[in-house]
Amino acid sequence: MLGRLLSDVLRQLTAEKRTSPRPEAQLPGENPLAEYFFNNPGRLIHKWHHYFDIYHRHFARFRGRSPVVVEIGVFHGGSLQMWHHYFGPGTRVVGIDIDPRCRSFEDEATTILIGDQGDRRFLAEVRGRVPHIDILIDDGGHAMAQQIATFEELYPHVQPDGIYLCEDIHTSFMPEFGGGHRREGTFLEYGKALVDRLYGWYSRDHTVLTADEFTRATYALHFYDSVLVIEKSPKAPPQTSLTGTPSF
């Protein structure tokens, strides 16, 4: 009886290990952001636990390099403190929120801009006020029109080797955010169309799909549970070659 119980537990544990690609990165102590969050010494932060692995995977190369990090959605200001702690001295964090109370989180290393991320005129002002962005995190209102306007206005403005990360994109399934399964106009459907644009080079009908600015500026799209990460890197038209000696 006990033997069977033990072998059931073991089977369950090894099955979990097999289905989780990087279980170790979830553990506080192995991921500095998770470590900070679960021992939070600062203001309130609201994050899904599985986001820490994604952040660390894409943000680690900016640590200690004084990046400019923009987060839309300030809430109680705790995540601004977490980004400073993670990226280190010299980092500039820009928090954007519609709630004017967030101004109180401004300090010498933190800029706060108040406005509506769904308002393209405000986003144009953001481009003027923040001329250099290495990382942009969209954790604001999570409504479809907000996520799409923010991407269209700010993605081209992110540095050529920067990262654009939009979180909570599961709202694309929620009618209260303008979502719905496969519904036209959701951020998830918009993101799926970006996959086509990544392959614009290979289009056979350039009237419907062609290599555009997005194709030339984007290295990879990473779709995770609830998070889309877009990695920028200037791309030249792809080349192919045959090398070596023929066998037949």
CB neighbour list of residue 56: distance below 8 Å, 6 or more residues apart: 25, 31, 32, 33, 34
Measured CA distances, 212 to 98, 152, 192, 198, 200 (Å): 32, 14, 16, 9, 7
Measured CA distances, 91 to 4, 61, 73, 234 (Å): 54, 13, 18, 24
- CB of residue 42 to ligand SAM, shortest distance in Å: 11
- CB of residue 201 to ligand SAM, shortest distance in Å: 35
Residues facing residue 199 across a β-bridge: none
Residues facing residue 97 across a β-bridge: 114
- CB of residue 180 to ligand SAM, shortest distance in Å: 20
Q: Give yes or no: 170 in active site.
A: no
Catalytic residue among 56, 58, 84, 142: 142
User: CA 105, 111, 114, 118 torsion: positive or negative?
Assistant: negative
| Pairing of β 92-97 and β 158-167 | unpaired
- CB of residue 70 to ligand SAM, shortest distance in Å: 11
Given the rule CB under 6 A, which residues bind ligand SAM?
Answer: 45-47, 71-75, 78-79, 96-99, 116-118, 139-141, 146
Catalytic residue positions, numbered: 142
